Amino acid sequence: MGLLEGKRGIVFGVANDHSLAWYCAQQMHAQGAQLAFTYQAENLERRLRPLAESVGSTFIRQCDLSKDEEIEKVMGELGKEWDSLDFIVHAVAFANKADLEGHFVDTSREGFRLALDVSAYTLTAVAQKAMPLMKNGGSIVTLTYYGAEKVVPHYNVMGVAKAALEASVQYMAADLGEKGIRVNAISAGPVRTLAAMGIAGFREMLKVVEQKAPLKRNVQAEEVGKTALYLASDLSSGVTGEVIHVDCGYSIMGM
Ligand code: 0WE
């Protein structure tokens, strides 16, 4: 009997088979969950569709999370297929490449707005529009990064956005607790995904983690997926408003 038998969830943020969202989805599917997926832009459907179908999903929709109408439309359509929704995986972030290269202090108003809108506000937007479907309580899981807590060179406006996301997790957990909805974040160590590709010095970051982290290695995407499974399942029934570090212990070290 799977941990998510009879449960239904929607996953935002699968770009390809390296995506952390995809590792979450695989773990959840393996434990009996039924899954729905969305993709942000047309060119991403070609990648997502075969993955989603491989875990038996029939609900695959385009949804630009920066548009309220699109979120509402998708939730409306989901409500026609499913009478309730049990969990949400939010693995969505974006900042302009230029804002991840120079100094944070040089961030433009528009770059700041974009990063916070896509990387932080979308969690609230999705929860808001999903609320009518989450009739039996549920679990909302998002992904964050250490750059929210401490300065990571070049993470810049994304660090500020993740700080807003982590604060949103707490406020949402407080609001939604009475409905039996839990809201948590996983702070994942760096993983080679599309989002990490082309980031100057990413390889060096992986080496630093290997040296400094208590476990003396980098985190595996599957380990992030397993934590998402725990958070979506009844195993974590007493946990809400939390940021769980899945980083081989990196964040506990002072030096
Ligand atoms: O949250 C992230 C990455 C988020 C991200 C990545 C990109 C790359 C391509 C957001 N927006 C964009 N925009 C693009 O145009 N991570 C935790 C991975 C990451 O990104 C970094 C990191 C790490 C770790 C950027 C600088 C420094 C470290």
The verdict on residue 1 lying in a domain is: no
Helix (H, G, I), strand (E, B), or coil: what is residue 141? strand
The verdict on residue 253 lying in a domain is: no
The pLDDT value given to residue 247: 98
| Distances 160 to 58, 79, 202 between C-alpha atoms, Å | 36, 34, 19
The verdict on residue 142 lying in a domain is: yes
The pLDDT value given to residue 195: 86
The verdict on residue 112 lying in a domain is: yes
The pLDDT value given to residue 198: 81
Residue nearest to atom 26 of ligand 1 (CA): 155
**Exposure of 150 in the CB half-sphere (CA atoms within 13 A):** 9
Q: Is 4 in the pocket of ligand 1 (CB under 6 A)?
A: no
For 178, the domain range is 8-245
Torsions phi, psi for 7 (to 5 deg):
-95, 150
150-161 per-position pLDDT tens digit: 999 999 999 999
Of the pLDDT bands very low, low, confident and very high (cuts 50, 70, 90), residue 214 is very high
C-alpha 193 – ligand 1 centre gap (Å): 9
What is the DSSP secondary-structure string of 163-199? HHHHHHHHHHHHHHGGGTEEEEEEEEPP--SGGGTT-
Helix (H, G, I), strand (E, B), or coil: what is residue 240? coil
The verdict on residue 65 lying in a domain is: yes
User: Is pLDDT at 197 greater than 90 in this prediction?
Assistant: no
Mutate to test the pocket of ligand 1, among 90, 118, 144, 158 (most ligand atoms within 8 A of CB): 158
Residue nearest to atom 22 of ligand 1 (CA): 155
Residues in the chain: 255
The verdict on residue 147 lying in a domain is: yes
The verdict on residue 221 lying in a domain is: yes
The CA distance from 13 to 65, in Å, is: 10
Q: How many domains is the chain built from?
A: 1
The pLDDT value given to residue 106: 98
- 5: its two tokens: 């038998």
122-134 mean pLDDT: 98
2-23 per-position pLDDT tens digit: 999 999 999 999 999 999 999 9
Q: Is 95 in the pocket of ligand 1 (CB under 6 A)?
A: yes
CATH number at residue 231: 3.40.50.720
Q: Is 208 in the pocket of ligand 1 (CB under 6 A)?
A: no
Q: For the chain, what is the mean pLDDT?
A: 97
The verdict on residue 37 lying in a domain is: yes
Residue nearest to atom 8 of ligand 1 (CA): 195
